[in-house]
Amino acid sequence: MIETSVTVNGRVCYPNFSAGITLQSKLQTGERFRRTELGEDFVFQGDDFAWIVAQPFDTKFILTFTCGEFVWNGVFWKTDCEFDADKHTCRVTPAPYDYYKAVLDGMEKEYDLVRLAPASEKLTMHKRNILQVYATSDGVGDRVLTNFVGTTSWEQDIQVAYSEVTESMLVDDYKFAKVASRFAYRINSAYAYGNYNDVYVGEKWESLSYGDDPLVFDGSGQSLRLRLWVERESNGSTFTYYLAAALYYYDVATEVPGSKARSIGQSGSTFYYDRQGYASFKIIRLGFPETSARSLGESCIYSRVISGQQVTGAWTKIPADDIIPANLNYTWVNPLGGSVEGDFVISAATRRDPTEWGQDSFGNYFVSPGDDYIPISRSLWKPFSLWVSNLRADGSSSPTLSESYTLNDAYPLEAAINVLLDEITGDSGLPVTFSLADSLFLNNGSPLRSGRKLFIAQLSNVKKTYYQNAAQTGKITLRQIFDMLRDCFHAYWHIDAEGHLHIEHVSWYMYGGSYTKADREAAVDLTSVYHPRNLKPWSFGQDKYGFAKTELPERTELSFASSQSAPFNGLPIQYRSGYVTKGQIEKVSIANFYSDVDWLISGASGTGDEGWVVLDAAPVDGVYGVPFITGDLIDGYYVLQNGYMSFEYLESHYFGYDMSAPQAVYQGGYAMTCHDTVRARTQTVTFPCTGALNDYDLVQTGIGYGEITSIEYNLFSTSAKAELKLPTEDE
């Protein structure tokens, strides 16, 4: 006979309840923990009824129900009860009273973390130089300039009228250097010396006997050589020609337009023109004799480097009325030319077959000049595509050229969680605490992380770098922190029987409290427990299963609170399998958090001052700093500050354990490594059970290892009925 007892606020009571009373433990939506409810009404009568009625109206009633080894706590108030004053009965279904209750009740509440004052630490960070590139087409500027930090880039709106931007403004006022220019003509009729009906692209001007400026004759000579790069549309071949051209000019001194220069001779690839009495003149237009030539435009690229510190070289102060809004983090500028041919490329290369880069003016598709190039100013692409070498971009903002500084107010994540838990649960009677010792994942006790520690810092403090007064407010909820851990790291939380919060990666739950699949053990093994009547294992006759297809989205899309540079934005994941749920898209959006430090410091983010930056730091000589990661991520080579918090790193290191299918690609066709898949196979089993199972316990059946999504304990028959989820495909 199983003994039962009921106490309410320590008083022994004798309510009526069903002989078939059960405890029902269910996995909470989107979480990895279960909560247990008592599926039964209690009916208090007689003295118990009188005692409850006699208590003050706002009394909190804590009920403890004991049945054998099972102990369950519930809570109710008078407003939860149904009273019958005639029959002297009180009927109530208590709600669970566990460590989860206060946390769940308070995790959506917003708190000012700055005022809660968790312990803080200093972090070493870096302010990197920024390469800024601007382009024009046919004398009209782009609406944006492109910032490069390392090999990442982002566009930023200019604050002047783009249609009024001139070369002199860019070079003289904004301290850019002109680093590349190209022009193109389409020839629509045969040239006198042959059929050159094609697109002609001016690659560079080459002077033979005049001054350093290839566009201006200084009167010392009359010869000019113009090299033209030619793409033959008929066969797609490319080659170099030296072609005679008609030159249109004006007098440099008076800027009075002149007529077409008269050709007076040719020797090899050098052409001679009559200066017609001018001491010097400037070429203003290129034409072709005996043709119908149409200009396709001229494109130019300009570049500069901005810095927070004056270093060696031609550095000047950034003008107050700069081309982009002022940023106190960056006050110095240096025009930057191309030191290596190919740093800045204006390309007319196309092909007939479609590419990701779109079409030119004639329906052909642009092609990249190589794997190590980053596109810029896409809106200006007509006859040309515009590119910057990522080697140039990386060299201009190398970490060795950066300025280190100290961020004074960074909160270790565990400190932030603890002060929020204390605020939420401290007066609940069931306080919950957290320390790194209770998280293998965050404390570098798992194979997934090594030697690093998570911090959060108020957004405005990170944006301002050097600040005299730290942020005075920082709103946050515990839910936002838990959601960030889930969506960035696939890490989940649960609370043990002593009120200690634990945070672990999803694989730890999938493997029954282990980070190694080979070491997983089942708390209940139905293949080795035998039925006393038929002497067969309890798994016998229970190997029926189905599938929960809602667990199998076709695609996953990711984002932080605001768009950041490409590697921090991440890449969508597309599952390639016939059994996923077509059209179902899992959208992951992380509220109130940012991670792209360089983008925030640059001032290009356009964000306000509310929010938090999550930092994955590493110790150097006993002091934590935000490290750089250097190397290949999903879609290319990067040098990233706080790169461990880029979505491309997060996806490739933490997302491969609960995939919809074993075959998946990132956007762009890059293969994704699969370590394990989500548990979408479902099975229902019954077995003898005399005590409650942990949130992460596994049940082994004849099909495999199953995670418990719900379990119902029949307290008097000492049996359990469990709903399990198992690997979708056979292991």
Q: What is the number of other CB atoms lying within 10 angstroms of the CB of residue 537?
A: 17
The sign of the torsion formed by the CA atoms of 672, 644, 505, 557 equals negative
CB 268 within 8 A of CB 302: no
**3-state secondary structure labels for all residues of 221-280:** CCEEEEEEEEECCCCCCEEEEECCCEEEEEECCCCCEEEECEEEEEECCEEEEECCCCCC
Confidence of residue 403 (pLDDT cuts 50, 70, 90): confident
3-state DSSP assignment of residue 48: helix
How high is the pLDDT of residue 308?
Answer: 86
Say which range, 91-95, 134-138, 253-257, 324-328, has the weakest mean pLDDT.
Answer: 253-257
Q: Is 648 helix (H, G, I), strand (E, B) or coil?
A: helix
- Quote the CA–CA distance of 457 and 468 in Å, as a whole number: 16
* Alpha-carbon gap, residue 700 to 610, rounded angstroms: 48
Q: pLDDT tier at 2 (50, 70, 90 boundaries)?
A: confident
Give the pLDDT of residue 261.
44
The confidence score (pLDDT) of residue 621 equals: 83
Count of C-beta atoms within a 10 Å radius of residue 192? 10
Q: Pick from 329, 396, 406, 404: which is nearest to 600 by CA?
A: 329
For residue 438, the one-letter residue type is: D
- pLDDT value of position 516: 93
Q: Which two tokens stand for residue 598?
A: 């360089």
With cut-offs at 50, 70 and 90, classify the pLDDT of residue 244: very low
Q: Strand 553-559 to strand 581-589: parallel, antiparallel, or no bridges (unpaired)? A: parallel
Place of tokens 């979480």: 31
20-32 as b/e: b if 16+ CB within 10 A:
ebbbbbebeeebb
183, 297 contact by CB (below 8 A): yes
Instruction: Determine the Cα–Cα distance for residues 654 and 523; give it in Å rounded to an integer.
Output: 26
Task: Dump pLDDT digits (tens) for 626-676.
Answer: 999 988 888 887 889 999 999 999 999 999 999 999 999 999 899 999 999
Number of residues assigned to the chain: 731
* pLDDT at site 245: 42
Q: What does the pLDDT read at residue 464? A: 85
User: Is the confidence at residue 254, as pLDDT, over 80?
Assistant: no
**CB-based contact 510:522 (threshold 8 Å):** no
pLDDT of residue 233: 41
644 and 662 in contact (C-beta within 8 Å)? no
* Beta carbons within 10 angstroms of residue 652's beta carbon: 19
Mean per-residue pLDDT for 350-354?
90
3-state secondary structure of 337: coil
Q: Which of 466, 345, 396, 403 is nearest to 130 (CA)?
A: 396
pLDDT attached to residue 158: 95
pLDDT the model gives residue 395: 64
Average pLDDT over residues 327-354: 82
- Which of 196, 211, 299 minimizes the C-alpha distance to 243? 196
- Angle at which helix 99-106 crosses helix 413-425, to 10 degrees, equals 100
The lowest-confidence range among 47-51, 331-335, 559-563, 683-687 is 559-563
* pLDDT reported for residue 250: 39
Q: For position 396, what pLDDT does the model report? A: 65
Condensed to tens digits (0 to 9), the pLDDT of residues 171-215 reads 999 999 998 887 766 655 444 334 445 555 654 433 333 333 333
Percent of the chain with pLDDT over 70: 82
What is the longest distance spanned by two Cα atoms in the chain?
Answer: 124
pLDDT at 349 over 60: yes
How far apart (Å, rounded) are the C-alpha atoms in residues 65 and 44? 14
Which structure tokens are listed for 165? 């931007």
Mean pLDDT of the chain: 84
Q: 487 and 481 in contact (C-beta within 8 Å)?
A: no
Based on the number of CB atoms within 10 Å of its own CB, is 395 exposed (0-12), middle (13-18) or buried (19 or more)? middle
pLDDT category of residue 138 using cuts at 50, 70 and 90: confident
Q: By the 8 A CB rule, do 38 and 714 touch?
A: no
Looking at residue 642, its pLDDT comes to: 95
Half-sphere exposure of 224 (CA within 13 A, CB side): 29
Question: Number of helices (H) and strands (E), helices first, in the chain?
Answer: 12, 55
**H, E, C per residue of 273-327:** EECCCCCCEEEEEEECCCCCEEEEEEEEEEEEEEECCCCCCCCEECCCCCCCCCE
Percent of the chain with pLDDT over 90: 58
What is the per-residue pLDDT across 214-239, written as a single tens digit (0 to 9) for each?
333 333 344 443 434 444 444 444 43
Contact 330, 304 (CB under 8 A): no
Burial of residue 361, with CB atoms counted within 10 A of its CB: 0-12 exposed, 13-18 middle, 19 or more buried: middle
pTM, full prediction: 0.82
Selection from 20, 15, 22, 9 nearest residue 70 by Cα: 22
Q: Which of 564, 585, 566, 565 is nearest to 574 (CA)?
A: 585
Q: How confident is the model at residue 61 (pLDDT cuts 50, 70, 90)?
A: very high
What one-character DSSP code corresponds to residue 342?
T
Closest CA to 581 of 680, 710, 673: 680
Name the amino acid, one letter, at 450: S
Burial of 567 (0-12, 13-18, 19+ CB in 10 A): buried
Return d(Cα 597, Cα 618) in angstroms, integer. Answer: 15
Asked whether residue 400 carries a pLDDT value surpassing 70, the answer given is no
pLDDT tens digits along 272-297: 444 444 444 444 334 444 444 556 67
For 473-492, what is the mean pLDDT? 96
pLDDT at 466 > cutoff 90: no
Following CA atoms 523, 527, 530, 531 in sequence, which dihedral angle do they give, to the nearest 10 degrees? 100
